Amino acid sequence: MKTLNDFNFQDKKALIRVDFNVPLNDNFEVTDATRIVSAKPTIIKILEDGGSCVLMSHLGRPKGVQEEFSLRHIIDKIEDIIGVDVKFASNCVGPEAEEKAVALQSGEILLLENLRFHEEEKQGNKDFAEQLSKLGDIYVNDAFGTAHRAHASTTIVAEFFPENKCFGSLLAKEIESIKKVMEDGEKPVLAILGGAKVSSKITVIENILDKVDHLIIGGGMTFTFVKAQGGRVGDSICEDDKMELALDILKQAEAKGVKIHLPVDVIAADAFSNDANTQVVDVKHIPDGWQGLDAGPKSLEIFDKVVNECKTILWNGPLGVFEMESFAKGTIALGDSIANSTKNGAFSLVGGGDSVAAVKQFGFENKVSYVSTGGGAMLESLEGKTLPGIAAILG
Ligand code: AMP
């Protein structure tokens, strides 16, 4: 696995695929710069070697050229974070980009306009990738968030750098963290899968059963399992057509010696609302008209014990409807348990969109071992897929 440390970037231009798909407000100001901050170590290493950086990224989902999706809006933010002036090419390919890349001196940064202003980017077009490849001597992929897409800048462009390609430090860290959980995690290994639906996590669950000793299932997924086992789930979210599958998962787990932990009690509400009336009920006896929206106190005690017994922990998906304060307690308590276990030496990886949002919202970011930057890419990795962007560098 080639990383930045395998190259000396002195007098070299690094063509870096970063993920600067950051949120902007109505005034086109960056509201969360995490992704730019995450790319800083890669950029700094190259500049310190005496190289220069050509940065390419997408921003949003433009249809053709749309000024509101211009990467121009984030130039100031990059300059603030990296501490170096940023030059800009108003088209990511073509004469302007090529001239500016040629003129780039050691220690300088050139930012290219939004890759997705060209539909060839998402199509993985080879000619477009070849045009991009002219802009650098070494290709560096540091964008985990798009590593599951075979786009021109994330995958195809690597073909034009058969020797001179590597992972940036962010992407390398992502790969190492996933490997630590999925391949060589210290036992006992625990996965916690929450979120809304079984259907979106089936492949993850099936793949993960071969890797873990314990599996905590929480969130809305709970009720499909509970109903399948004969429980009464009231008005809780439940996928009736996935009940067979839930039973099959429980059977597979037993055969593989994986201990599954489901909530035993829940906070039930009489409406899907923060102001609803609530009561703690047994997970198998939820009255009609009530729905389980968070894990209950007994469940949290059980989960805390498991989390603290395990040495490797993967967390994907909240335990309840954490967006509403009344149903965030379970997710917060689980975060506390994971933070404590991490403090005592466990390795903890948090990944997948909503658990990352929860971890940030409740301040656990620095109390777990690693927070992944890629939602879809993380899920596909957990499903056991080799991501095209990663394969392209390894190949
Ligand atoms: P996912 O994207 O599959 O990880 O799902 C995350 C979403 O699941 C969050 O928006 C939560 O509000 C939601 N969720 C978690 N627990 C429940 C529940 N018991 N009932 C309904 N939605 C839930």
Catalytic residue list contains 51: no
Q: Of residues 353, 367, 384, 385, which has the active-site annotation?
A: 353
Q: How do 165-167 and 189-193 pair as beta strands?
A: unpaired
pLDDT, tens digit, 9 for 90 and up, residues 107-157:
999 999 999 999 999 999 999 999 999 999 999 999 999 999 999 999 999
Q: How do 138-141 and 189-193 pair as beta strands?
A: unpaired
Phi/psi for 212 (5° steps) reads -115, 160
Q: Which residue among 354, 362, 378 is best mutated to probe the pocket of ligand 1, counting the most ligand atoms within 8 A of its Cβ?
A: 354
Residue 97 pLDDT exceeds 90: yes
Neighbour tally for 211: CB within 10 Å: 19
What strands lie across the sheet with 278-282, from one edge to the other?
278-282, 265-269, 291-295
pLDDT, tens digit, 9 for 90 and up, residues 109-119:
999 999 999 99
- pLDDT score recorded for residue 227: 98
CA distance 228 to 244: 7
**Top CATH class, 185-382:** alpha beta
Catalytic residue list contains 72: no
- pLDDT score recorded for residue 200: 87
Neighbour tally for 50: CB within 10 Å: 13
Q: Over range 170-181, report the average pLDDT.
A: 95
- In the block, which residue shows the tokens 């997924």? 221
What strands lie across the sheet with 165-167, from one edge to the other?
86-89, 109-112, 52-56, 13-17, 138-141, 165-167
Phi/psi for 17 (5° steps) reads -85, 110
pLDDT band for position 46 (50/70/90)? Answer: very high
Residue 213 pLDDT exceeds 80: yes
Q: How many CA atoms lie within 13 A of 79 on its CB side?
A: 11
- pLDDT score recorded for residue 354: 80
pLDDT band for position 395 (50/70/90)? Answer: confident
Tokens (6 digits) for 38: 């995450």
* Residue 347 CB burial class (10 angstroms; 0-12, 13-18, ≥19): buried
Q: So where are the chain's domains?
A: 4-170, 185-382
Atom of ligand 1 at shortest range from CA of 222: 19
Interval between CA 219 and ligand 1 midpoint (Å): 6
Q: Over range 11-19, report the average pLDDT.
A: 98
- How many percent of the chain have pLDDT more than 70? 100
Enclosing H/E stretch for 235: none
Amino acid at 381: S
Interval between CA 357 and ligand 1 midpoint (Å): 12
Catalytic residue list contains 197: yes
3-class SS of residue 103: helix
Atom of ligand 1 at shortest range from CA of 293: 19
Q: Over range 26-35, report the average pLDDT.
A: 94
CA distance 97 to 219: 48
Amino acid at 351: G
Query: Of 379, 232, 262, 260, which Cα lies nearest the Cα of 330?
Result: 262
Q: Of residues 122, 376, 384, 385, which has the active-site annotation?
A: 376
Please tell me the residue having the least CA distance from ligand 1 atom 17: 220
Atom of ligand 1 at shortest range from CA of 223: 19
Residue 158 pLDDT exceeds 70: yes
On average, the pLDDT of the chain sits at: 96
Q: Which residue among 205, 233, 300, 321 is best mutated to probe the pocket of ligand 1, counting the most ligand atoms within 8 A of its Cβ?
A: 321
Query: Of 82, 73, 64, which Cα lies nearest the Cα of 31?
Result: 73
Interval between CA 318 and ligand 1 midpoint (Å): 6
Interval between CA 35 and ligand 1 midpoint (Å): 24
CA distance 151 to 121: 6
Q: Are 327 and 294 in contact (CB under 8 A)?
A: yes
Q: What is the DSSP letter of 289?
A: T
Ligand 1: residues with CB < 6 A are 195-197, 200, 219-220, 237, 292-293, 317-318, 320-321, 323, 352-354
Query: Of 283, 217, 286, 296, which Cα lies nearest the Cα of 250?
Result: 217
- pLDDT score recorded for residue 382: 92
Catalytic residue list contains 35: yes
Atom of ligand 1 at shortest range from CA of 219: 16
- pLDDT score recorded for residue 374: 83
pLDDT, tens digit, 9 for 90 and up, residues 340-368:
999 999 999 998 768 888 998 999 999 99
Q: What is the DSSP letter of 92?
A: S
- pLDDT score recorded for residue 134: 98
CATH topology of domain 4-170: Rossmann fold (3.40.50)
Phi/psi for 230 (5° steps) reads 100, 5
Q: Of residues 13, 17, 35, 116, which has the active-site annotation?
A: 35
pLDDT, tens digit, 9 for 90 and up, residues 284-304:
999 999 999 999 999 999 999
CA distance 370 to 358: 14
